[in-house]
Chain A
Amino acid sequence: MSEVSLLARLKDAIVNLDFDGSKHLAQEALAKGIPPNEIITKAISSAMEEVGRKFEASEYFLSELIVAGEIGKEISQMLQPYMKDAEIKKIGKVVIGTVKGDLHDIGKNIFGMMLEAAGFEVIDLGNDVPAEAFVEAVKNHEPDIVGMSALLTVTMVEMENVIKELKKAGLREKVKVIIGGAPITEEYAKRIGADGYGKDAVVGVDICKAWIGKK
């Protein structure tokens, strides 16, 4: 099989969400000596673009976008040992967490997975995260972005507290802050001094990518 057709089959397998088939084809591509970077650009990235287009066109569900992202991530990890350090650089670093008092983290998890699929390094602090833990994580990991989620109106107020604590620690200007969750609005984000509001995970990731692009 030619290099072109092998990469095309790999792309199709990812678009069709065929986990095992994709891994098998990626291994075959490596065995044929196709450079990892070429596998990433011509198969994985191209497949992700196609899946993204299908999602935008309401042909695919968000959950399918996530599955495709996971396949892409797994294959990329498989390729890493064959790549030079410079080739595996992440596009940015994001600290995420669901704020104190709130245990509803599925939206935050989806956001995290989609960030990883987009090439970010993600440090997930989990749920019920106090302001001090966000501050500590910013000190330790020096992320580009902090993402917070909340599902309850009674817990969303904690987001403002986190921003205040970041200011107190002198860290606010070093990071962008994005917030999201069912009760959150653009207006609320502005009011508490967040830089962005992701109405869903897809929008949130687009905002993060735009921020990194502007740097």
Chain B
Amino acid sequence: MVLFSKLEIEKPSELIFGSAKHPLNYGLGLNVGKGEVIPEVKFFPRVFSDKDPIGFKTEVQTITRDILDRAVELGIPSLQIETELTFMETKNPRLAAEIASLQKWLMEKYFDEHGIKLGFRVTVADIRDFREGLRTTANYNLMMETFDAVSSNGADVLSIESEGGKDVFNHSIIRQDIEGIVFSILLASLDMGFIWKDIVNVARRNGCIAGGDTACAIANTAMKLAGGVKSMSLPHTLAAIVRAMSAARSLVAYEQGATGPGKDCGYENVILKAITGFPMSMEGKSSACAHSSLIGNIASACCDLWSNEQVENLRLFGGSAPQVFLEILYYDCKLMNRAIMLGKALELRDMLVLSDKFDDPQALVLSPDVAIDVANAIVSEYGDYYRRVKSACWKIVEILESSSSLRLSLPETRFLSHVKNIIDSLPDDGETFREQMCKTFTGKVPTFQEKDYWP
């Protein structure tokens, strides 16, 4: 197990797009984090794989070919394609393997014929049923079987959006229950410690890369609930706090041996890049096809792969939606790469940062200077899952409170004071916290079982 006790990237000026301290080389000649930003495109087929598996495979094949054709038309030199398996495909390892194999065959063909450098990420769905338990269940084994199937059939990078702690988080977030949220992130960390050992083993066995995990089920749920600038569904400061705390959770994959590139929807990846030095995929304005956010520009400031999150395979005037979004991503990347070549990367990064930074607390967290402060707060408590979540929370609350440029509404500042009081009252040691929280949530959240996390 790797313990990150200090930052791999300590200076905010070095936390920048296209450049990682530990770049990666994989797939069909792809170099990630080595001086250029590469588009990573992801799609969502219209055919349901459980209703029509043959139609589904045909559609994935068509989409992959469409993407590669557009890449050739535009002269894209390097590209990553991500296939995110749904529940249906993950529950069918044979189908998942066939899809991966088919896509990789096409990629090899385009690599041979056109010289385009290609990487292939496969994200497996977390199909575990919380009611049955999270470990050593049939669904867990099936999920690992699918990891094995795709990694032995062409996947270069393995990822997941693991869902440990999600039931407690869902219960807590809509009640603004800070203790419950901290507990859910502690649970998520413990769960990741378990599953990532197995994912890393599968990846090593099949000669592919263990990419990373995202706090999609936690921090992106908070982001989605927080909504737009005028939405009063959830404090935006809470969504920002959850993001910062989630970095302590997503770090576990790298401690267990993942090496990046981190997966796109983990906006906490900017904090993780500072801690680990590994390249990261990010998504922002070009993922508006999948969901709205208030962090469209700032999210690209430190990316190594630039993603569209996911787009449905619809027909648009400009081609299929995956083709169109690849093109949008490519032009974003071209701009960043030209800035790198001209020695203007830092200026461009700062413009991207400043265009969003003070408009919303969720954007502020992603600013390189703030990300490094949060990263330092996390590594200062390395090795202790509970204390580092708490430490990240303290740090981001302090930053949000002291920012003179971030204009918070009265309800937001009232909420921040409330969070401070709660965090102040939390016990110092994880064991006491565990006892208190297990007592609180056992029975209250029907699917929560202590033994899933402390077997």
Contact = CB atoms under 8 A, between A and B. Distances in A.
A110 B233 CA distance: 10
B233 A106 contact: no
Interface stretch (A54-62, A168-176, A186-194): A54-62
B221 interface: yes
A70 B174 CA distance: 11
Contacts of B46: 154
Contact of B175 (A58, A63, A101, A154): A63
B225 A106 contact: yes
22 contacts: A58-B232, A59-B410, A61-B234, A61-B411, A61-B415, A62-B233, A62-B234, A63-B174, A63-B176, A63-B233, A64-B176, A66-B175, A67-B176, A106-B170, A106-B174, A106-B221, A109-B170, A109-B174, A154-B44, A154-B48, A154-B312, A200-B233
Interface in B142-187: 170, 173-176
Interface in B210-254: 221, 225, 232-235, 238
Contacts of B221: 106
B87 interface: yes
Contacts of B170: 106, 109
A66 B174 contact: yes
Contacts of A154: 44, 46, 48, 312
Given A103-B87, A106-B225, A63 B411 contact: no
A72 B409 CA distance: 27
Contacts of B232: 55, 58, 60-62
B411 A59 contact: yes
Contacts of B87: 103
Given A106-B174, A109-B174, A154-B46, A63 B234 contact: yes
Given A61-B415, A62-B233, 17 more contacts: A58-B232, A59-B411, A60-B411, A61-B232, A61-B234, A62-B234, A63-B175, A63-B233, A63-B234, A63-B238, A66-B175, A70-B175, A106-B170, A106-B173, A106-B174, A106-B221, A106-B225
Q: A interface, how many residues as a size bin?
A: 20 to 34
Contacts of A41: none
Interface of A: 55, 58-64, 66-67, 70, 101, 103, 106, 109-110, 113, 153-154, 200
A143 to B, nearest CB: 22
B214 to A, nearest CB: 16
A110 B174 contact: yes
Contacts of A61: 176, 232-235, 411, 415
B393 to A, nearest CB: 17
A19 to B, nearest CB: 10
B271 to A, nearest CB: 24
Contacts of A200: 233
The 9 A-B residue pairs whose C-beta atoms are closest, nearest first, are: A62-B233, A63-B176, A63-B234, A61-B232, A58-B232, A67-B175, A66-B174, A110-B174, A63-B174
Contacts of A103: 87
B52 to A, nearest CB: 13
A55 B232 CA distance: 8
Contacts of A106: 170, 173-174, 221, 225
Contacts of A62: 232-234
A17 to B, nearest CB: 9
Contacts of A66: 174-175
Contacts of B44: 154
A15 B312 CA distance: 44
B53 to A, nearest CB: 15
Contacts of A109: 170, 174
Contacts of B238: 63
Contacts of B411: 58-61
B48 A101 contact: yes
Nearest to B47: A154
A56 B105 CA distance: 56
Contacts of B409: 58
Nearest to A17: B176
Nearest to B171: A109
Nearest to B415: A61
Contacts of B175: 63, 66-67, 70
A60 B235 CA distance: 9
Contact of B312 (A58, A60, A113, A153): A153
Nearest to B221: A106
A59 B411 CA distance: 6
Contacts of B235: 61, 63
A67 B176 CA distance: 8
Nearest to A66: B174
Contacts of B415: 61
Contacts of B173: 63, 106
Most chain-A Cβ atoms within 10 A of its Cβ — which of B46, B87, B175? B175
A59 B410 CA distance: 8
A131 to B, nearest CB: 14
Most chain-B Cβ atoms within 10 A of its Cβ — which of A60, A62, A70? A62
Nearest to A69: B175
Contacts of B312: 153-154
Nearest to B88: A101
Most chain-A Cβ atoms within 10 A of its Cβ — which of B174, B238, B411? B174
